Chains A and B, each alone.
Chain A
C-alpha cells in the first residue's frame, strides 16, 4: 500500500492522526480563524502566517465516491473493486478528505459493499496504521 509522501506543510496532519485526532489547519490570526485544506504556509483569507491545527468532530458526509477496478498497483488490485470516497466534514463542509469507507478501522478497502454507498451518507472517522503511518478511514454511521 502507498503511504503518504508527507511534506512539511502536511506533517502535523499525520502526526495528529497517529494520536487518533482528526485536525485541520486553521488561521490563528485574531478575527480570522478560517480553516484551510490542503495545508499551506499562510492564510489565503488574511495572509497571516499564524496557524493552528483545530480538532474536528470526525463526522462527515460522502461528497462523492468511485469504485476502482484494475489495472491498478498490485496492493490495490488485490482489494479491487474497492471504494474511494471524498468526505465533506460536518464541521466545515468545504473541507473534503479523500479516504475509504470500511467495515471496521483495520478492515480492507473492499470490506463494504459499494452498493451500500450513497452520496450524502453520514460517516465518522476511524484510524488505522498502514506501512508505519496512521491514516484516517471512514465508517458508515448506519452500519
Chain B
C-alpha cells in the first residue's frame, strides 16, 4: 500500500503573470530549486523526476541544470492537465518501493505569452481529432462546453451554478497576493454580461492563460520527519482511464457525464482511511467551471446530477461545506496545468494558505476531468 508512506516536504513556485521574460526551462529550474530549498534537501540528492508529457523541459535538462545526482526514476504522464496529480503519485510509488529516495515533480509553462496549443494545425493532441476539429470543435472550451450544455439540460444546472464556482475561486484569489486576479473582484453582473467563448461558457468560465512554474518534493515518511516543514502525507493516489474512454474528450462512451473522475475516485477512496465527508478542503481542477460540479459528483461529494446544486449557499467558500481552490485555482490564481492546486493543498495542510481553512487536516487534489485523470488525497 502507498498509504502515508511518502510525503510532500517541499514546494516552490515562480511568479505568475501573463508574460514572464524568462524561458520555460529557466522557470522550471527556479521552481525546482525553490521546492528543494523549502524541503531543506540538496539538489545533488534528487534521484527521481516526474512531469507531464506536455512539459517541454525534459528531466535531462532540469537534472543537469540543478546539479542532480544519479537519477534512477523518471516518468512523464500524458493527457494534459489530467496528469497533474499523477506526477506526485508516480514519485510516491517510486519512493515507497525503493526505486528512488528524493523525487521532484514540476510543471513549467508559458501559456500566457506562448502559443495556444489548439492553434497548432499540424500537430494534434492525443485526441480523436479527425472526428471533432474539422467541425469547429477547436478548443478545449468548445469540447467542455458540449458536456456543460448537456449537463445543464439533464440536471437543471444553471449559469448561476457555474458562477458560484468562478466566484469562489476569485474570492480566494482576492486573498492571495501571488494570484493573477488578486486585486480584481468578480461580480455576478460582470459574469452574466461577459463575452461568450463557447456558449454556454463565457469568459469567466475559462481558466487564465499564465506564465509560471511550480514544483514539489516527495520523500519517504521516515525521511520527512527530518525535514524542516510539516510533512504532508500522500494518503491515497489514483489515476483514471475509464472503460471506452477516448483521448481528450469523452463523447463516445455510454455516459459522457460520468468521466474519468468517477474511475479515479473509486480507487482513491478504496485505499483511504476516510471518505468525502471527511475532506476539510479540496483543490478541484478548474480549467473550466463545469469541471467542478462534474468532479464533485465523480469524487462522491454529492449524487449524480447534484453538483450544480451543491455549489449553492456559499458551499465552496471558506466556512462552507467544501472550501475549494483556496489559492484561486486555475480560474483566478494561475493556470499551470493544475500544479498550483497541488502546492495549495500542501499549504493548507501546513496551515500557511492565504485563505486558511481552520485546522485543515485532509485535502483532496484532483487533475483535469474529462481527460484521463488522476487525484491524490493529502493529510497532515
Q: How far is the CA of A18 from the CA of B146 in the complex (A)?
A: 27
B150 located at the interface, meaning its Cβ lies under 8 Å from any Cβ of chain A in the complex: yes
Cβ of B134 and Cβ of A1 under 8 Å apart?
yes
Q: Which of B9-17, B94-102, B190-198, B318-326 contacts A (4 or more CB under 8 A)?
A: B190-198
B76 located at the interface, meaning its Cβ lies under 8 Å from any Cβ of chain A in the complex: no
Cβ of B251 and Cβ of A4 under 8 Å apart?
no
Shortest CB distance B257–A (Å): 10
A98 located at the interface, meaning its Cβ lies under 8 Å from any Cβ of chain B in the complex: yes
Shortest CB distance B253–A (Å): 8
Nearest residue (CB) in B for A68 is B198
Nearest residue (CB) in A for B149 is A64
| Chain B 159-208 interface residues, beta-carbon cutoff 8 Å to A | 195-201
Nearest residue (CB) in A for B116 is A71
Q: How far is the CA of A81 from the CA of B198 in the complex (A)?
A: 9
| Chain B 90-113 interface residues, beta-carbon cutoff 8 Å to A | none
B142 located at the interface, meaning its Cβ lies under 8 Å from any Cβ of chain A in the complex: yes
Q: How far is the CA of A100 from the CA of B137 in the complex (A)?
A: 10
A30 located at the interface, meaning its Cβ lies under 8 Å from any Cβ of chain B in the complex: no
Shortest CB distance A73–B (Å): 6
Q: How far is the CA of A44 from the CA of B136 in the complex (A)?
A: 29
Cβ of B136 and Cβ of A86 under 8 Å apart?
no
How many inter-chain contacts with C-beta < 8 Å in the A-B complex? 103
Cβ of A98 and Cβ of B132 under 8 Å apart?
yes
With beta carbons under 8 angstroms apart, the residue of A3, A44, A66 that contacts B145 is A66
Cβ of B150 and Cβ of A69 under 8 Å apart?
no
Give every chain A residue within 8 A of B246 (Cβ-Cβ): 38
Cβ of B121 and Cβ of A2 under 8 Å apart?
yes
| Chain A 53-90 interface residues, beta-carbon cutoff 8 Å to B | 63-69, 71-73, 76, 79, 81-82, 84, 86
Q: How far is the CA of A98 from the CA of B255 in the complex (A)?
A: 16
Given contacts A64-B150, A73-B119, contact A84 B129 (CB under 8 A): no
Cβ of B133 and Cβ of A119 under 8 Å apart?
no
Cβ of A69 and Cβ of B128 under 8 Å apart?
no
Given contacts A64-B147, A66-B146, A96-B251, contact A4 B134 (CB under 8 A): yes
Given contacts A37-B252, A64-B149, contact A3 B134 (CB under 8 A): yes
Q: How far is the CA of A12 from the CA of B134 in the complex (A)?
A: 17
Q: How far is the CA of A92 from the CA of B116 in the complex (A)?
A: 36
Cβ of B135 and Cβ of A100 under 8 Å apart?
yes
Cβ of A98 and Cβ of B135 under 8 Å apart?
yes
Number of interface residues of B (CB under 8 A): 37
Cβ of B139 and Cβ of A68 under 8 Å apart?
yes
Nearest residue (CB) in A for B196 is A69
Give every chain A residue within 8 A of B139 (Cβ-Cβ): 68, 72
With beta carbons under 8 angstroms apart, the residue of A37, A64, A71, A97 that contacts B146 is A64
B153 located at the interface, meaning its Cβ lies under 8 Å from any Cβ of chain A in the complex: yes
Cβ of A66 and Cβ of B130 under 8 Å apart?
no
A33 located at the interface, meaning its Cβ lies under 8 Å from any Cβ of chain B in the complex: no
With beta carbons under 8 angstroms apart, the residue of B119, B149, B153, B244 that contacts A66 is B149
Q: How far is the CA of A48 from the CA of B246 in the complex (A)?
A: 20
Give every chain A residue within 8 A of B128 (Cβ-Cβ): 38
Give every chain B residue within 8 A of A37 (Cβ-Cβ): 252
Cβ of B199 and Cβ of A84 under 8 Å apart?
no
Q: How far is the CA of A101 from the CA of B131 in the complex (A)?
A: 15
Give every chain B residue within 8 A of A3 (Cβ-Cβ): 134
B254 located at the interface, meaning its Cβ lies under 8 Å from any Cβ of chain A in the complex: yes
Give every chain B residue within 8 A of A1 (Cβ-Cβ): 134
Choose among A79, A84, A119, A130 the residue with the greatest number of B CB atoms under 10 Å from its CB.
Answer: A84
A47 located at the interface, meaning its Cβ lies under 8 Å from any Cβ of chain B in the complex: no
Q: How far is the CA of A3 from the CA of B130 in the complex (A)?
A: 8
Q: How far is the CA of A63 from the CA of B252 in the complex (A)?
A: 12
Nearest residue (CB) in B for A118 is B153
Cβ of A76 and Cβ of B134 under 8 Å apart?
no
A10 located at the interface, meaning its Cβ lies under 8 Å from any Cβ of chain B in the complex: yes
Q: How far is the CA of A130 from the CA of B149 in the complex (A)?
A: 28
Nearest residue (CB) in A for B197 is A69
Given contacts A73-B121, A76-B138, A98-B251, contact A66 B198 (CB under 8 A): yes
Q: How far is the CA of A84 from the CA of B150 in the complex (A)?
A: 13
B124 located at the interface, meaning its Cβ lies under 8 Å from any Cβ of chain A in the complex: yes
Which residues in B have some Cβ–Cβ distance to A below 8 Å?
116, 119, 121, 124, 128-139, 141-142, 145-147, 149-150, 153, 195-201, 244, 246, 251-252, 254, 256
A-B contacts besides A65-B146, A69-B199, A99-B135, 16 pairs, CB < 8 Å: A4-B131, A5-B130, A5-B133, A38-B252, A64-B147, A65-B149, A66-B201, A68-B138, A68-B197, A73-B138, A82-B136, A84-B135, A84-B137, A95-B252, A133-B134, A135-B135
20 pairs of residues in contact across A and B, judged by CB atoms under 8 Å = A2-B134, A4-B134, A63-B150, A66-B146, A67-B196, A68-B145, A69-B195, A72-B139, A73-B121, A79-B136, A82-B136, A86-B146, A94-B252, A96-B251, A96-B256, A98-B132, A98-B251, A109-B136, A130-B134, A135-B134
